[in-house]
Amino acid sequence: MAWKWYDATLVKTEEINPDVRRFWLKTEEEVPFEPGQFVTMDLPISEKRLKRWRSYSIASKTDDPMLEFCIVKLEGGAGTKFLFEDFKIGDQLKFKGPSGTFVAPQNPDFDIVMICTGTGVAPFRPMIYDLLESQKTKQSIHLIFGTRTEAGILYREEFESLAKAYPNFQYSVALSRQEHWDGPKGYVHPIYLEHYGEKRTDIKFYICGWSKMIDETVANLFAKLKYDRSQIIYELYG
C-alpha cells in the first residue's frame, strides 16, 4: 500500500537548547496517525530522491491541530542542517506516511515501561497521552528518560504534571553529565534494572534511542534478566 503524500507549512518553531528544536507543521487536510508513528519528509537537500528523505517521529497528540516534531541537530547531517538553518516560518515541504509499527498498545492488560534518551522521547509523548487521557489502561506506565543535563530534559513540565495527575504514571530522569542533581545520575540502565530486576510476565518494555543504548538495554533485559523477546519492543532513531 502506497503512503499518502501531504503538503505542509512550517508555522512555529521553538528552540529547547542549541541542539534540539520543536517544529510545528500545518496541513490542509487531516493526517490520521497512531501514537508512535513517523512520517518521511522530502527535504530539498539533494537531487536524488532517496538522499532527500528523512524520517521523524510525530511528537504531537492525535487531536492536536498541527503536527509536532522534536528533532536533534546531527553533526554533519544535511537534513537537520536544512531544518535548523534554512527552514523558515511559512516555508513548505512534502512528507509521506504516517507509518511504523512502534505504536501504543490498545487496551493493554500489562504494565508498560518506556525507556528512551534524548529525542527518542518523541514517539512516547503521544503514546502516553493516548493511554492516559483516553483511559485505555489502568496499568502502570513508567517513562524512563536519559540525557546529559537538565537543559536536555524534553517535555519535563508536561510529564511531571502527568505524574501528579495520574497515579498509574511514573516518571524517572537520569542525567549523565550533571553533578548537582537530586535524581538518578548516570545512564538509564540502573533505573530499570533496579525496578524490574525480578522477571515478570505482566510487563512490556518499549525502547527508543540510539543503537548503543538500545543494544545494551535489550542485552540487559533479554540476556541478563531473562525477559521473553516478545516483551521487548524497540525503535532505532538517527
The residue ranges of every structural domain in the chain are 4-99, 111-236
**Please, which pLDDT band fits residue 100 given cuts at 50, 70 and 90?**
very high
pLDDT at 236: 84
pLDDT at 2: 63
What is the CATH T-level fold of the domain 111-236, as seen in this structure?
Rossmann fold (3.40.50)
pTM of the model: 0.95
Q: Is residue 16 predicted with pLDDT exceeding 60? A: yes
What is the CATH T-level fold of the domain 4-99, as seen in this structure?
Elongation Factor Tu (Ef-tu); domain 3 (2.40.30)
pLDDT at 84: 97
C-alpha cell at 132: 492516559
Q: Which pairs count as long-range contacts for 71-74, CB under 8 Å and 24+ apart, including other chains?
A: 71/20, 71/21, 71/22, 71/23, 71/119, 72/19, 72/20, 72/118, 72/119, 72/238, 73/18, 73/19, 73/20, 73/21, 74/238
Higher-confidence position of 134 and 120:
120
Q: Average pLDDT in the 126-152 region? A: 91
pLDDT at 107: 86
Q: Is residue 137 predicted with pLDDT exceeding 90? A: no
Burial 14-53 (b: 16+ CB within 10 A, else e): eebbebbbbbbbeeeeebebbbbbbbbbebebeeeeeebb
Q: Average pLDDT in the 11-20 region? A: 95
Q: What is the mean pLDDT of the chain?
A: 94
Q: Average pLDDT in the 119-144 region? A: 92
Q: Which of 136-145, 178-187, 224-233 has the highest mean pLDDT?
A: 224-233
What is the crossing angle of helices 156-165 and 124-133, to 10°?
A: 20
Is 111-236 in the same CATH topology as 4-99?
A: no
Q: Is residue 225 predicted with pLDDT exceeding 80? A: yes
Q: What is the pLDDT of residues 57-84, one digit of tens each?
A: 999 999 999 999 999 999 999 999 999 9
Q: What is the pLDDT of residues 24-54, one digit of tens each?
A: 999 999 999 999 999 999 999 999 988 999 9
Q: What is the pLDDT of residues 148-183, one digit of tens each?
A: 999 999 999 999 999 999 999 999 999 998 888 887
Q: Is residue 238 predicted with pLDDT exceeding 70? A: no
